Amino acid sequence: MSENTDNNILEEVTSGEYKFGFFTDIETDLAPRGLTEDTIRFISAKKEEPEWMLEFRLKAFRHWLTLKVPEWAHLHYPEIDYQDIHYYAAPKKRPQLNSLDEVDPELLDTFKRLGISLDEQKRLSNVAVDAVIDSVSVKTTFQSTLAKKGIIFCSFSDAVKNHPELVKKYMGTVVPYTDNYYAALNSAVFSDGSFCYIPKGVRSPLELSTYFRINAANTGQFERTLIVAEEGGYVSYLEGCTAPQRDENQLHAAIVEIIAMDDAEVKYSTVQNWYPGDKEGKGGVYNFVTKRGLCKGQRSKISWTQVETGSAITWKYPSCVLLGDHAIGEFYSVAVTNHFQQADTGTKMIHIGKNTRSTIISKGISAGKSNNSYRGLVKIMPGATNSRNFSQCDSLLLGSRCGAHTFPFIDTRNHSSIVEHEATTSKISEDQLFYCNQRGIDTEKAIGLIVNGYAKEVLNKLPMEFAVEAQKLLAITLEGSVG
């Protein structure tokens, strides 16, 4: 009897539905399906790019042709036909807007439904938003406030036009196009993204935010984010993602590069909620992302916080290269998988400088028939004297049809450094559930509560607005999975 109830409970929690699966009827400007040098020239031309940018893309494309799809991750999915994807989709009325009033009302409504209405954002919080729909950056709020401080926050395309020297100097320096299969693909076909530059000694008075959304069918989204914080600069950057419900799989392959100079600090927070596919595993976004930060300067700090609840497939390892002495890298992650979702995510911490520190806290939550893997590398190079790493990777299993895996790699070449890794696996105990039930809390709510408690250490690292959204998302993702 107890087992039966348990199964029913799981049945219910795992049947939670994706609540962002609406499709916005905005006319889009699509590139023809397929990928050739012509596609790349088309994208580049559409974006009126300078020659050096086209050259970069073509070099990346030619390199991509020589690469093989990486197969080492604990992921299983049918081969992707890269010739069956639209590599460029922009809302047709390319907005050249000066105020929010001019933004397509339907688009504004989309953001409202996402819970991030630009108006709201503007009024309520200190968040400047750059919204990227499909591939094109639509609107950046608060540009003027930021400009006064000398902060550049704009779409990647605008940066290519208006700040070519900065883009040329930093683009591809942290994630070169040769880095991996998806990085090469992105470098060839990326359509837009965000660019952020914090000048020397400036602390961004606002939290900067980008929302990514895939809207058109059969499109890939390949955005690219570049954040540079000069000496003593500080910025907290938020990234949110959603996609509508579709039967077919959509591809997302992004690159994020961060560079932090002496005493600079960048906090990068992500709430990833791409469409995960339905209960039978149909549809959903394939999410192959390369995110890497370079702590170039002394005492620089880069901190990644991610809440991963979406995508059918997640392949993502936000990393830190700790080059400057005393640099600090952090990775806080909550990854939830349900139904047939598969996540292979984690981080790499490469210690090169002396006295570098890194912390990894990963909380994996698996439900339904999903598989959730932590994969991480901690590498201490011979020169990284007195470096420290601490990793804690916990897994929580909801039900007996899912999988939770941990694949840490620790490579140490310096004897004065200390590396510690711990991992545990647990389930929500019947005692905990009964305790909540006895207080009148139904099992679904109880699971939401317990899971949020389990992930609290990471959720606490998120900026307030995001933390609330993330908590709701966790509960929604697992909704019905235990009842």
Partner 1 sequence: MLLNIKDLTVAINGKEIIKGLNLQVNKGEVHAIMGPNGSGKSTLAAAITGRDGYEVTKGEIWYKGQNIVGLEADERANMGIFLSFQYPVEIPGVSMTNFMRTALNAQREYRGQPNIPAGEFLKLMEEKKKMVDIHAKLTKRSVNEGFSGGEKKKNEIFQMALLEPTLAILDETDSGLDIDALRTVAKGVNELRSSENGFVVITHYQRLLEYIVPDYVHVLSDGKIVKSGTKNLALDLEEKGYEWLKEEAAV
Partner 2 sequence: MSMEKDTLQQTQTLDEMLIGQYRQYKELISENDTPHLRQIRENAFQVFEKEGFPHSGTEMWRHTDVDALTEDDYVHELKAPVVTENIEDIFQCDVHDFDTETISMLNGWYTSKTGDLKTMPDGVVVGSISAAMKAYPELFEKHYGKITGSESNGFVQINTAMMQDGVFIWVPDGVKVTKTLQIIKIINRKEQLFVQSRNLIILGKNSELSLMHCDDSVDHQASLVNTVTEFFVDENAHLELYKLQNLNDNSALINSTFIKQMANSTIKTNTLTFNCGLIRNSIHVKLDGQGAHADVLGLYLMDKEQHIDNQIRIDHNVPNCTSNELFKGILDDEASGVFNGYIYVARDAQQTNAYQNNNNIMLKSTATINTMPFLEIYADDVKCSHGATVGQLDQEAMFYIRSRGISADNARMLLLYAFAADIINEISIEPLRQRIDDMVKKRLRGELSVCEKCVLHCGTPDKEYHFDIDLSQI
Segment interacting with partner 1, rule: CB under 8 A, options 31-39, 197-205, 321-329, 443-451 = 443-451
Q: How far is the CB of 326 from partner 2 (least distance, A)?
A: 19
Q: Which is nearer to partner 2, 166 or 423 (CB)?
A: 423
Contact with partner 1 (CB under 8 A) among 303, 443, 477, 481: 443
Q: How far is the CB of 483 from partner 1 (least distance, A)?
A: 9
CA atoms within 13 A on the CB side of 206: 28
CA–CA dist 317, 72 (Å, integer): 13
> Which pair of structure tokens corresponds to residue 269?
């927070």
Q: Which is nearer to partner 2, 301 or 375 (CB)?
A: 375
Other C-beta atoms within 10 Å of 202: how many?
20
450 binds, among partner 2, partner 1, none (CB under 5 to 8 A by kind): partner 1
x/- string (CB under 8 A) for partner 2, residues 423-452?
A: xxxxx-------------------------
> Which pair of structure tokens corresponds to residue 262?
């002496």
Q: Which is nearer to partner 1, 23 or 434 (CB)?
A: 434
67 binds, among partner 1, partner 2, none (CB under 5 to 8 A by kind): none
CA–CA dist 343, 364 (Å, integer): 9
Kindly give the residue spans of alpha helices, DSSP state H, lying in 375-442: 430-438
449 binds, among partner 1, partner 2, none (CB under 5 to 8 A by kind): partner 1
Region 369-388 residues binding partner 2, contact defined as CB under 8 A: 380, 382, 385
CA–CA dist 242, 311 (Å, integer): 9
For residue 52, which phi and psi values (nearest 5 degrees)? Answer: -60, -30
For residue 187, which phi and psi values (nearest 5 degrees)? Answer: -60, -30
> Which pair of structure tokens corresponds to residue 74?
């604990």
Q: Are 193 and 223 in contact (CB under 8 A)?
A: yes
Does 399 help bind partner 2 (rule: CB under 8 A)?
yes
Segment interacting with partner 1, rule: CB under 8 A, options 120-128, 261-269, 407-415, 446-454 = 446-454
Contact with partner 2 (CB under 8 A) among 300, 406, 443, 452: 406
346 binds, among partner 1, partner 2, none (CB under 5 to 8 A by kind): none
Contact with partner 2 (CB under 8 A) among 416, 435, 460, 468: 416
Does 152 help bind partner 2 (rule: CB under 8 A)?
no
Q: What share of the chain is helix, strand, coil (3-state, %, to 5)?
A: 25, 35, 40
Segment interacting with partner 1, rule: CB under 8 A, options 34-42, 296-304, 332-340, 426-434 = 426-434
Instruction: Give the type of residue at 68.
Output: K
Longest dimension (CA), the chain: 69
419 binds, among partner 2, partner 1, none (CB under 5 to 8 A by kind): partner 2
- State the number of binding residues for partner 2 (CB under 8 A): 37
CA–CA dist 291, 224 (Å, integer): 10
Q: What single-letter DSSP state applies at residue 219?
A: B
* Radius of gyration, CA atoms only, the chain: 22
DSSP bridge pairs for 266: 235, 302
x/- string (CB under 8 A) for partner 2, residues 17-56?
A: ----------------------------------------
Helix (H, G, I), strand (E, B) or coil at 132: strand
- Helix H or strand E encompassing 424: strand 418-427
Segment interacting with partner 1, rule: CB under 8 A, options 175-183, 186-194, 225-233, 427-435 = 427-435
Segment interacting with partner 2, rule: CB under 8 A, options 126-134, 239-247, 335-343, 417-425 = 417-425
Does 464 help bind partner 1 (rule: CB under 8 A)?
no
- CA–CA distances in Å: residue 316 to residues 73, 94, 95, 157, 405: 10, 31, 31, 24, 15
Q: Are 100 and 108 in contact (CB under 8 A)?
A: yes
409 binds, among partner 2, partner 1, none (CB under 5 to 8 A by kind): partner 2
x/- string (CB under 8 A) for partner 2, residues 63-82?
A: ---------x-x--------
Contact with partner 2 (CB under 8 A) among 287, 356, 417, 477: 417
Instruction: Give the type of residue at 294.
Output: L
CA–CA dist 483, 480 (Å, integer): 6
Binding site for partner 2 (CB under 8 A): 72, 74, 380, 382, 385, 395, 397-427
Binding residues for partner 1, rule: CB under 8 A, are 1-2, 5-6, 429-432, 434-443, 445-446, 449-450, 452-457
